[in-house]
A and B are shown apart, each in its own frame.
Chain A
Amino acid sequence: MDQNDDFNCNMDDEALSDQVIEQLLQGKVDPLIASGAVAYLANLIEAAKVGATYNELAQEAIILSRFKEALGQGGVRRITHPNERKAHTSFLAARTLGALIAASVLTGTAVAAYHGELPGNVQNSLSTSLAKVGVSLPTSNSSTSDSTSSSISLPIGKSPSNLRAKANSGVSGGTNEGLAGGSSLYGICTAYTNSQGSSNTTTTSASTTTSLAGNTSTTSPNAAGSGFTGSEEYRQLQTAAQQKGETIPQLCANVGNPSQPSDSTTSTVMQASQHASEHANSHANMHAAFYNSTTSTTSTTFSSSLTVRGNHGNSPFDRAFSAGRFSLSGSEGLYGSH
C-alpha cells in the first residue's frame, strides 16, 4: 500500500489516518493525486492557503501608520516595579561610571599622545598613524627620554642641560601659579622678549648663542617670533597684561625669575634669561613650559644650574650630567634618568 492508496480511502470503511490528516493539514496532499474525501479536503485546504488577495492587503497604509505610532508608544516602556526600577537605576549608574572612566582614559591618552608622553613604541606608532591623516604628533625620538614623560622636543645639537635650563624657566617655584605670576609667566615673558628681537629685549643680542657643556646652538628670534605671537601662550600673556592694565613689555619687565636667588648677579640673570629663552622659542617648547608650570612641583636645581653655569659647569647638576646621571627633582617627569 503506497502513499496514493492512503489518499484513496473509502470513508464507509475506514477513517482518515493520523498520517493523512497531518499531511492534509500541512497542505502536502496533492488534490490531483488523491480521490474522494481526501481530494475534497485537500482542495479546500489548498484554497484556504492560497496567496494573499488585494482585499487582504488593502489596509496596509492604515495599519503601517498605526503600527509606527504604536511602536513609539510601546518603545518607551515605563518601569513601575520598585525592584525593576532599582535594577535599572543601578545599571544606568554603572553605565555612566563606565563611560566616565572610558572618557577619562581616552582623554588622558590623547593628552599624553599630544605631549609625546606615551611610551616610545606607542608614541611612534600613534605619530606614524595619525600623520597619515594629517595629525601631527611628536615621536618618541623627539623626547629627551623614552621612559619618562616629556613634552619638550630635543633640537639637534642641543644638550639636555640647555633644555633643562629652558624647561626650568617655566617651572613653578613651588606653587601652581599659572599665568598669574611666577615662573610660568617668566618663561612666557622670556619667550616673548626673545620673539621681539634685540630692540625689545633685555638680552644682549637678537641672535643668542649659548655654549654649555661643549654644545653650541643658535636660534633665530625672528623666525620664532612669528610663531610665538600667534600662539596660545601669547594670547594668555596679552590677557594677563590686560588684567593688570599694563602692556606686555611692562608686565614682563616686572616679572623676575622666581627661581633666581635674590643675590644673583645681573649677568647671571641675563644668562639665565638667554638660556631660558633660547629654547622656549618654538610653540611646542613654550607649550611644554606652560604645561609644566601648572603641573610640576618644586624645582630645586634650576638656580644651582644657572648659578653654577656661570662657574663653568661645576654644579652638582652638571657633574651629574657629565657622569651620565641625569635627574631633575620636582620635574623628573621631564627628563628622567639616562
Chain B
Amino acid sequence: MTIELDLDIAIHRAKLGDEAGIVLLFRSFNPQLIRYLRHHVPYDYEDVASETWVAIAKGISDFNGNSRDFRAWMFGIARNKVADFFRAAKKSGEALDRARKHLTNNAYFENSDSTAGPAIANLSAEEAIDALVGVLSPHHAEVLLLRVVGDLSVEEVAKLMGKSPEAIRVIQHRALNTLAKRFYRNVVT
C-alpha cells in the first residue's frame, strides 16, 4: 500500500516535472516495460521504450488516475509503440526480419531437455519470459505478458486488447494449460 501511495505521489510530482517523481516512476515501471518490449522488439526494445516514455511525458498532464491506472496506461502506449515500430519495420523489412528470427530461435521448449524443470531455477527474467510465451500464439503470449510482466488484471488486459474479460480468461487458461502439457511431454519424453 505504501509503495502504491508513493507511486501515486510520484505520478503527481512527475506531472509537475519533478525529477524525483520521474525517476521513481522510471525505476518502478521501466523493468516491466523493458521485459514486455524485449519480447516484441528484441533488437530495438530500448528505442521503443524511450519512445514510450516520451509519449508518457507528453500525455501525463492529461492523465488522471493512480499507479495501477498508470501501469495500464503505460502498457497501452507501449502496445501502440510496438505497432508503430512494426508499421515502420514493414516498410524497411530489416527490423521485422530480425524480430521474426528472434522469436523462432527462442522457443525455449524446443531447445530444452528433460532437465528443464530444475534448470529454470537459474533463469533470468528474460529467459523466463521467453520460456513462458515463446511457444504461444501472439494473442496468448500477449495476454500472458500483460498479466505476468505487466501485472495487470483480467479486466485491464481485456480493456487494452479490446476483448471481454471472459475472452481473456479463456485465453490465459488455454495458454497455461498448453505450457503445462508441454512441460509434461518434455518430462516424459
What residues of chain A have their CB less than 8 Å away from a CB belonging to chain B?
11-12, 15-16, 18, 21, 24-25, 27, 36-41, 43-53, 55-57, 59-60, 62-64, 66-75, 77
Contact = CB atoms under 8 A, between A and B. Distances in A.
**Chain B at the A interface: mostly helix, strand, loop or mixed?**
helix
Given A21-B176, A53-B125, A70-B57, A48 B184 contact: no
Contacts of B184: 11-12, 36-37
Given A21-B173, A47-B127, A55-B34, 18 more contacts: A18-B169, A18-B173, A37-B181, A40-B116, A46-B128, A51-B31, A52-B27, A56-B30, A57-B31, A63-B50, A64-B19, A66-B53, A66-B54, A67-B56, A71-B58, A72-B17, A77-B61, A77-B62
Interface string B109-148: 0000000110011011101110110000000000010011
Contacts of B43: none
Given A59-B50, A70-B58, A71-B57, A15 B128 contact: no
A25 B172 contact: yes
Nearest to A62: B50
A57 B49 contact: no
Contacts of A70: 53-55, 57-58
A154 B154 CA distance: 81
Contact of B128 (A38, A48, A51, A60): A48
28 contacts: A16-B176, A16-B180, A18-B169, A21-B173, A25-B172, A25-B176, A41-B180, A41-B183, A43-B120, A47-B123, A48-B129, A48-B148, A56-B34, A57-B26, A57-B27, A59-B49, A60-B23, A63-B26, A63-B49, A67-B53, A67-B57, A68-B22, A70-B58, A71-B14, A72-B17, A74-B58, A74-B61, A75-B17
Contacts of B14: 67, 71
B104 interface: no
B60 interface: yes
Nearest to A58: B46
Interface in B134-189: 144, 147-149, 151, 169, 172-173, 176-177, 179-181, 183-184
A71 B59 contact: no
Contacts of B30: 52, 56-57, 59-60, 63
Contacts of A18: 169, 173
Given A50-B125, A51-B31, A57-B31, A68 B50 contact: no
B37 to A, nearest CB: 11
Nearest to B56: A67
B35 interface: yes
Interface of B: 14, 17, 19, 22-23, 26-27, 30-31, 34-35, 46, 49-50, 53-62, 116-117, 120-121, 123-125, 127-129, 131-132, 144, 147-149, 151, 169, 172-173, 176-177, 179-181, 183-184
A38 B176 CA distance: 9
Contacts of A51: 31
Contacts of B56: 67
Given A16-B177, A59-B49, A47 B125 contact: yes
A198 B138 CA distance: 107
A71 B55 CA distance: 9
Contacts of A55: 34
A103 to B, nearest CB: 27
B59 A16 contact: no
A262 B172 CA distance: 108
A292 B26 CA distance: 66
